Amino acid sequence: MKVGRTHHWYYDKGDWKEKKITPEKWELAYSTTKRRAGKAPEGSGVPVGTGYHWFILAHQYVEKLNANDYMTQMVGIKYKLAHKRAGKDSWNAAGNAQKKHLIEILQSLIAELEADPEQLTPIPLKVEYKNKLYEGTAVPVPAACENGACFDLDITLNSKHIGMMRRAGDKWKITELKSQGLANAIGEQITQWYRKAA
């Protein structure tokens, strides 16, 4: 798959368990089966049995809806630490090599965040479009920020996840949103927010 292309997956009803270590630190474990939104082209992809070890860094924003339900939004980056070929028992990188690679990733991320701190700042949205008020957040994708602005953001409006907004040239696009007019209004507010923050 070429750099810049995207995958779209659906996750089955998963099992998320978390343990409170401190008020600011939680341990988590999650398992499920993810399924391709479409169909893989015939003969494409790696062989069945191939394995990957990813390290994920993500924002998780939640909003309590009622006593038992929370709307959850996650946006982040995943880094490949190692892979395992089908039919093999070992990873292509030993434990120490994976540890060294992870340290390099984290050091690089710290440098990026110090250079572009806006990567950590969600943007509050309040947009009126066709006599309807939309309120929510735009969460920056850390890898898509430079010179004080981010160009890929995950959008939630009125407690509903909308999708990923991307800037291409002077236009903003949300694949999952049919109304380009609403996308333009959201994009304009994001643009103005970054101008004020500069």
The tens digit of pLDDT for each residue in 27-76 reads 999 999 999 998 888 888 899 999 999 999 988 888 898 999 998 888 88
Alpha helices in 116-179 (DSSP H): none
pTM over 0.85: no
Asked if 34 contacts 10 with a C-beta cutoff of 8 angstroms, the reply is yes
* pLDDT (average), residues 91-109: 95
Mode of pairing for the β-strands spanning 145-146 and 132-140 = unpaired
Alpha-carbon gap, residue 33 to 75, rounded angstroms: 19
pLDDT tier, 115 (very low <50, low <70, confident <90, very high otherwise) = confident
Per residue in 145-157, pLDDT tens? 877 788 889 999 9
